[in-house]
Structure 1
């Protein structure tokens, strides 16, 4: 009977939260009084309930996000200045996923300056992500372990160098579609290559065979490497030796 109760209770709590989320408009004035545990579970359901997206965009996100929030995924929501201000109050935040940024550069910078505990950051396809913003992120979020800025076309070697100078714990990086070059990649893997496990460089025309060779030579713990559609990678003969024994996935295309 004891084991049965343990299995039923979590499902009951989950069902109650689902009902609350489905009828969240009816309870909007009471949301701020909910326990932290319930608020965190509501945040995790944003992608699964379309009513939550419009609800939070109408200004109610402040009722759910709290000072102890550690995980925020707003990839399905247009993030404005007000939402950035709310996020910046989460001093213990360690995971943040953003996509649609309807803000300005200064407010974005101000937000990251207050997120010193951030470990996992995804902010893709955003023109506001430049070398200057990467400098702010690298300086004020030094504990980053995973960074996904794929599709941010205004990032160059300068931003990459800022990361390898300040983010000493970085293990996973997606910098696809950026302006990084072989020079920047070689410096980056020279400084952080030993700890890298995941590196994605798709559609980076500044990357050449020389960069790929350096990655294989200096990243012995790499598990995933993607460099599809890098127009200046010519060699289709990939040399994988015992130095790359941890590699689990590799994907590339070459220019003919």
Structure 2
């Protein structure tokens, strides 16, 4: 009898591991379905359920980070409680992405999500805090692209990084140079801001935010005709992100604002 039990234990252990693996995959698949349906809060429930079964699952970690960012970026407004909640979610998203990188250092999505979560967080902060995040955002986005040259979101982050640094005030740029050295912040330029966003659009032309941010950069450099092209192109694109309705509204407002502007360059 003891011999039979000894034989059964490895068999049952294998069955248990197989069942758990299947459950993890099932939870991730359910989360993916809710992600496509633009319900990140529900997607996050399933990604966390997968992590409860396998806390080091790379896919569940970076997708939980993505869902957390999607939940956070819908919390708009300046009320103190809302800002604290939003920022805490971005911090959670960063932690999940960093855990994903620990689970799989060579996975592009983990690095990309660190860059995206920090990029979103930095936009809610003041100039000095924004500057403190700058090098981490840049390095993680570059790492993501080195691992996956088709990561359109990482290209977007890099393009936005160049634009955001160029938009810093003189005092903020002085602080940045003091913190990182003159050489690092001086790499920011409008040509790369355009180039990276153009590449993001080329990789994923149906992504509304790519086109909107590229249009805003064109406005910054006085290329109003190109800005209008992007703003008109995104008008009929399908909704595929939780903020796409808002992005379309912003695009329509910007298009109206620049409708009579002449190109400066």
The answer, yes or no, to whether TM exceeds 0.5 is: no
Instruction: Identify, as 1 or 2, the structure richer in helix.
Output: 2
Instruction: Identify, as 1 or 2, the structure richer in strand.
Output: 1
Tell me: higher relative CO, structure 1 or 2? Use CA pairs within 8 A at least 6 residues apart: 2
